[in-house]
Amino acid sequence: MMTGRTSARWFGSQLTAIGAAALPMACARVSPKSRVPQPTSNSALAPIAAAAVMLLCRIECLIRVPPVAERYIKSAATASSRKTCIFRPDLRHHRGNARIDCPLYGSTIHRDRDRPQFCNRMIIRPDGTSLLFVTQPDHARLSADLLNQWKGFADHPRRAALLLAAREHDNGWRELDEELVFNATGGCAFDFITAPDPVKHALWPRGVDRLAETSPYAAALVAQHAVYVYDSHRDEPAWSQFFTAMRGRRDDLRARAGHTAEELDADYPYLSIVDLLSLTFCNDWRDDHERFATRTHCDDQGIVIDPLPFAAAVPLRVRARRLADRRYASAADLRAAFEEAPLEIIEGHARGADAA
């Protein structure tokens, strides 16, 4: 006889399997805006598929679901660009980098306020008497958007891996617990800069290993990124093991992908520069920052870049949540405020110094 916990796990695994199988059908059949041809043979199963997906998401609070299902539910819950809909073209399945092919305004499962993105991987941008919280995935998505606009990049032989590296370079922040990065002394959240060193030591290998399952070369680029951005710590004993591990991962993954060290050295500046451009905009950095002879700073219109790597000015858009700039009593207090915070878009343009 199964115990209560074992039974819950078994039930969760069965429900996960049903939901995973039913999700494509639900997306194709339930959404009124789907442009995919509607096969008549499955029409009777569409309500069942939709109900299975709904139940899969709502049952999480009642049972102990398997880790894979838990990751899937959380990834779906954090993918929304609209306050009332979680299905997006960039919603991703828990395995690899596969997309879930649902229309932009597909079937709604949860609202953002039901399952918000956690305050554990945030870029925190002061804005008067409030703070704008930008998630690492949204910052990384802007990095990839900028790289896609790079002049001449369309013909780059390793374009796909570079875009993937830009979009996923911060995915290691995904699993962090709120309590781990809540600053109880200051009554606020640790941002990505002020997060404790042990947090950073753990998240980068995790992110690289996850990405390696999809693209070893993209993962090698991200490993090099970790080495580069923390270079100021290279002589600190507490960081020695981190650098040894990341350099080893970088070289092994690059070799597995069949690329040379010279190719990686030539490709990495793309990732580094677009990361800096996105960070400058998301953080509203007004002072000049420079990487690989490219300087940038933020102003009231967006970011100024010298030299401009794009053929013309590029629009900038990133999602954020606005919270009051106050002391929070606990991680739960901060999370509650985040859940209630409205979603807004920070907009601007990336332009050259001569247009500033």
126-172 confidence digits (pLDDT tens): 898 898 988 888 999 999 999 999 999 999 999 999 999 999 998 88
Asked if 273 contacts 307 with a C-beta cutoff of 8 angstroms, the reply is no
Q: pLDDT band for position 48 (50/70/90)? A: low
- Report, as an integer, the average pLDDT of 273-295: 97
3-state secondary structure of 309: coil
Q: How far is CA 102 from CA 26, 58, 69, 107, 139, in A?
A: 9, 20, 19, 8, 23
pLDDT of residue 80: 32
- CA 129, 134, 139, 145 dihedral sign is negative
Strand-pair category, 294-299 with 302-306: antiparallel
Asked if 142 contacts 317 with a C-beta cutoff of 8 angstroms, the reply is yes
| Helix residue ranges, H only, the chain | 4-30, 46-58, 67-77, 136-148, 159-168, 178-181, 197-212, 216-229, 240-257, 261-283, 331-340
Average per-residue pLDDT for the chain: 72
Highest mean pLDDT among 199-208, 244-253, 334-343: 244-253
End-to-end CA distance of the chain: give it in Å, rounded. Answer: 72
Provide the Cα torsion 317, 323, 329, 330; round to 10°. Answer: -30
| Per-residue pLDDT at 93 exceeds 60 | no
3-state secondary structure of 344: strand
Q: How far is CA 111 from CA 143, 209, 230, 271, 340, in A?
A: 26, 31, 37, 33, 12
Strand-pair category, 188-189 with 314-324: unpaired
Asked if 23 contacts 53 with a C-beta cutoff of 8 angstroms, the reply is yes
Better pLDDT: 299 or 49: 299
| 76 burial type by CB count under 10 A (0-12 exposed, 13-18 middle, 19+ buried) | buried
Q: pLDDT band for position 329 (50/70/90)? A: confident
Q: Give the C-alpha separation, 268 to 42, whole Å.
A: 47
Name the amino acid, one letter, at 334: L
Q: Give the C-alpha separation, 141 to 285, whole Å.
A: 19
Q: Give the C-alpha separation, 284 to 319, whole Å.
A: 14
Structure tokens at 273: 């520069």
pLDDT of residue 205: 95
List phi, psi (to 5°) of 38.
-100, 100
Q: Give the C-alpha separation, 315 to 66, whole Å.
A: 41
3-state secondary structure of 326: coil
pLDDT of residue 74: 37
Q: pLDDT band for position 182 (50/70/90)? A: low
pLDDT of residue 185: 61
